[in-house]
């Protein structure tokens, strides 16, 4: 029996498609597809840490702490007015990594402007708008420390980090 090129391609193409459907239906293939779909999602096992009691925090004054480890300096600020991501009785307590997202220089809080400022390359970040970058060399917002407020004892805990701390491939070492 003689096959034309067209018939040969139809036969081999159909067989290849059938094999692909068969392999794609296996549990291993479904798991691989799920892994590709969730490749960018990561839930890191942060250890919650009590960082302050609300009575310790003064309005518009930074309070230093480290999270998620001793090599990660951060600051918590009681803004005095409700802000996005704020916790506490007035939803006004926020926290950020104080390592600039440009080159890792430590930023400082300026209470007059309510901004974090980098002394190295003059980037500024808005503490009232989730650490959003305002100006300078940085291209990303400051990593926000996700906080949890316990009304029964007035403590504020750091529970995770929203963003990547400068110089790291993962926020947990």
Residue 97 parent element (H or E)? strand 93-97
**Alpha carbons 52 and 148: distance in angstroms, whole number:** 11
What are the backbone dihedrals phi and psi of residue 15, each rounded to the nearest 5 degrees, phi first? -65, -40
User: Mutual orientation of helices 27-37 and 5-24 as an angle, nearest 10°?
Assistant: 80
Q: What is the DSSP-derived secondary structure letter of residue 55?
A: G
Cβ atoms within 10 A of the Cβ of 172, count? Answer: 13
**Alpha carbons 140 and 122: distance in angstroms, whole number:** 14
What are the backbone dihedrals phi and psi of residue 167, each rounded to the nearest 5 degrees, phi first? 85, 10
Question: Is residue 42 within 8 Å of residue 145, measured between CB atoms?
Answer: no
**Residues noted as catalytic:** 102, 121
**Alpha carbons 99 and 111: distance in angstroms, whole number:** 18
């Amino acid at each position: 029996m003689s096959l034309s090129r067209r018939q040969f391609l139809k036969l081999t193409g159909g067989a290849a498609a059938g094999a692909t459907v068969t392999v794609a239906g296996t549990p291993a293939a479904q798991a691989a597809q799920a892994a590709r779909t969730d490749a960018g999602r990561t839930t890191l096992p942060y250890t919650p840490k009590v960082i302050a009691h609300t009575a310790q925090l003064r309005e518009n004054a930074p309070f230093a702490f480290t999270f998620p480890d001793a090599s990660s300096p951060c600051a918590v600020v009681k803004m005095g007015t409700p802000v996005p991501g704020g916790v506490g009785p007035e939803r006004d307590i926020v926290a950020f990594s104080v390592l600039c997202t440009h080159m890792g220089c430590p930023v400082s809080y300026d209470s007059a402007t309510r901004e974090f400022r980098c002394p190295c390359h003059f980037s500024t970040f808005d503490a009232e708008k989730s650490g959003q970058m305002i100006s300078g060399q940085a291209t990303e917002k400051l990593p926000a420390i996700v906080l949890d407020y316990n009304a029964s004892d007035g403590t504020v805990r750091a529970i995770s980090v929203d963003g990547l701390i400068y110089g790291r491939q993962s926020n947990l070492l």
